[in-house]
Structure 1
C-alpha cells in the first residue's frame, strides 16, 4: 500500500490530521531513503489541506520555480527521522488567491518561507545521521517480523508484507511490548500485515472477526483492504479448493477424500503420494510418501519440536539413509498457515525433493 492510498482511506474515515499522520508514518518507513530528508505527500483539495494544517507542527507557503506550495509539516521525532510534508500546489495567481482566502476564512494564516529556511525547518542537514540511527534501530526491533516475512515469502503464496512500525510499543495503547500480531489477506496471492500489540489488546483482537476490524474499532485506523473478511476456517469449501490445487498445480490424481477430518490423498505420476490433512488451522499435516509408501517429508502443527517460529515445522527428510547429509535431517520452522492452497510453495518443494531423491 502506498501513502497516497492510505491518505485517501483516512480522509474517507474522517480522521483528523494527527491521526492521519500517524497512519502515514506507520507505513512510510517501508519506502524511506537516506537521499530524501522528508516524506512529501500531495493533497488533492482545499478541504483536505485544511484538515492537515489544523494539527500541523508548521504551516507556510514556499515558492519554488514559480509554483506556490501550501505546506503542512509534521516534524520528525525519535520514532521517525523524516518530517512529513502535506502540500497543495498552485501556479496561477487566481488559484493561489482563492486557496489562501479559503484557509484564512478558516483561521489559517500562512507566511512565506525561503528554500533555505524550509531546509532548516526540517533539519535536512542532520537527516542522514538520523536516518542511519533509525534504520539500525528499526532493523533490530523489526527482526522478528522480517524473518517471518522472509519465511512466508519463500514457503507460501504470500507476495508482500506491511509492517506497521511502532518501535516496540502497542499500536493501541503505546505500552511497551515485544510481541507481534499478524493477519494475512488472500485473493490470488497473499499480503501479510504485522503490528505490535500488548498482551491485553492481542487477546481482545482475537475476539473480533479479524485484526483489521479490531484496529478500526480501537485506534481510529480505517478498515484497510477488506474489513468484512472473515478468518479462514477449514470447511467443505476449503476442501474443494485444496482438491483443485492438487489437480491443477501439482497434476495429481485424487485417490481419497475424508470430509470428517478434511483430508485428501492424491497420487503423482511419479508414484509419490501426497496426503493433506487440514482438520483445523492449528491441527494439520502435509505428508509426502515415496512410491513404496515410506514417509519422505512432512509439515505438521504438533508442538513437539523447538523451532524459532513454531509450533508449525518442517521435516524435509524423514529417511534414515546415510547418503543424505546430516543437516537435511534437521527440523525447521515451516512458516506455513495450515491452509494448503496458501502453503503451495513449500508443498511443491517437498514433492520435488521426494521425486528427485526417491523415485527412479
Structure 2
C-alpha cells in the first residue's frame, strides 16, 4: 500500500508568502502533531510531509537538522529531529504538484547534503531505538496530559455537528510555553464541515488569550503571525430575527411542525411536534442559559438538556443532560452542547433514539 504524504501547504493559505518561514511551518506541525496519531505511516514515529511550493521547500532545507540526498531516486529529504514540543521525527520533501514528481541529477545548492541510496536507507537510519523511544515516551505523556481536552473533543464530535476536533498543545500542555495547562480556549469553525479548535493554556496564557478579540487571532500569535481576520460581532445569544428561520431548519430536520416562537422573560420558547406524537420544547435565552426538553407521546418529559450550573460534580459543565428526569432512574451526564440548536442537533437525534429503543 502506498503511504500518503501529508501535505502542509493548505495550512498557510491565509498567510502572506513572507510570513511562511521554516519555523512557522514546523512549529505548526509540532503543536498539531497529537492530531496525527491515526494518520497512516510507514514508521509510527516518522511523519512524512510534502510541500508543492518551491519557496517553502528552500526555506525548510535551510533550517533542517539534516539533509539527505537519495541517489537512486533523484530527490532529497529535509529532516527535523524530535524535540521537547514534538516526539515525531518530521521529514519533508518537495514535489512540484500532487500528481507529478521530478528527478534531479544533484541536490539543491542550499545546505550540506548526505548522500544515501534510497528511501529505504533513510528509514533505516531514522528507525533507531533512540528516536522510537523518544516518540513512545512523548506519545504516552501527551495522551496523559491531554486526556481531559481529548475527552471533551470526543464528546463534541459525538453529540454535535463537529466533524473533527483539533487539539493544539505542546510539552506539559500549554500551547504557548509548554507548562502544565488547566485551561482551554476553544472555537468552532464551519463551512463545508465543522471543526473545533481547542488550545491548551496555562493560567498566564489564558489571561493573554482573553485580551484578543477572538480565539483565531490568538491562534495566529502562536506562530508569529498577524492574521487578517475581519472584525466580528460577538453575541452571547441567537439574534431575534434568526429565531424563526432557525425553527424552520430544525422542523425540517425533525420532520416536525412547530408553533409560532414565543418571546418570554427568559428567552424564546419553541415547541416542535413530531409525527409520532413526541415533541421537543426549546427555551433559547443566551448561549449560557438554554434548555431543550423532550416529551413522549403522553406529554411526559423524558429528557432534558440544559445549561443550569446546578450540578458541579458533572464534568465539562455547566452544560449537561438529564436521562429520565424527576424519576428514581434519573441520571445526569455531560451534554457537550453549545446552546445553538443547529450545532446540537445530533444530540436531539441521539436522545430520541435512546428512548425509542427502550
**Which shifted more, 175-184 or 138-147?**
175-184
Mind listing any 5+ residue stretches in structure 1 that lack a counterpart?
A: none
Q: Are residue 162 (structure 1) and residue 166 (structure 2) matched?
A: yes
SS in 1 for 2:180: coil
Residue correspondence of structure 1 range 161-240 to structure 2 within 5 A: 161-187=165-191, 189-217=193-221, 219-220=223-224, 223=227, 233-240=237-244
Work out whether 1:50 is the aligned partner of 2:58: yes
TM-score by length of 2: 0.81
Name the structure 2 match of 1:246: 250
Deviations 1:60-103 (A, max 9, x none): 4232x3x222332211124433321222364243xx4xx634x3
2:11 is matched with which residue?
Answer: 6
CA distance in 1, matches of 2:53, 2:194: 34
Separation in structure 2 between the aligned mates of residue 128 and residue 202 of structure 1, nearest angstrom: 33
Match of 2:352 in 1: 351
Q: CA distance change for structure 1 residues 43 and 222 in 2, over 3 Å: closer, same or farther?
A: farther
Bigger Rg, structure 1 or 2? 1
2:332 & 2:18 partners in 1: Cα distance? 46
Instruction: Give per-residue Cα distances to partners, 1:158-178, cap 9 Å, x unaligned.
Output: 111111231334223444323
In structure 2, the residue matched to 1:30 is: 35
CA drift of 1:335 comes to: 0.7
Aligned to 2:49: 41
The Cα offsets for residues 295-339 of structure 1, whole Å up to 9 and x where unpaired, read as 22111101101201101110121253x6xxx3xx11111110010
Q: Residue 195 of structure 1: CA displacement?
A: 1.8
Write out aligned runs for 1:108-187 (5 A): 108-113=111-116, 118=122, 122=126, 124-187=128-191
**How far apart are 1:212 and its partner, in Å?**
1.3
Secondary structure, in 3 states, of the residue corresponding to 2:113? coil
Q: What residue in structure 1 maps to residue 25 of structure 2?
A: 20
Q: Which residue of 2 aligns with 1:73?
A: 79
In the alignment, is residue 275 of structure 1 matched against residue 281 of structure 2?
A: yes
Partners of 1:338 and 1:80 lie apart in 2 by 35
Alpha carbons 1:213, 1:227 under 8 Å: kept:
no
Deviation string 1:182-207 (CA, Å, 9 cap, x unpaired) is 21112354211122122233234344
Report how many residues are paired.
339
SS at match of 1:286: strand
Give unmatched runs, 5+ long, in structure 2.
1-5, 96-101
1:335 counterpart residue number = 336
Q: Distance in 2 between matches of 1:290 and 1:117?
A: 65
- Tell me how far apart the structure 2 counterparts of residues 17 and 193 of structure 1 sit (CA, whole Å): 23
Q: RMSD in angstroms over aligned alpha carbons?
A: 3.2
- Which residue in 1 is equivalent to 2:307? 301
Q: 1:319 to 1:109 in 2, by over 3 A?
A: closer
Are the equivalent residues in 1 in contact too, given 2:34–2:142 (CA < 8 A)? Answer: no
Secondary structure of the structure 1 residue equivalent to 2:314: coil
Q: Within 2, Cα distance between the matches of 1:258 and 1:200? A: 43
Q: Classify the secondary structure of the residue corresponding to 1:30.
A: helix
The Cα shift of 1:148 comes to: 1.1
2:114 and 2:353 map into 1 onto residues whose CA distance is: 67
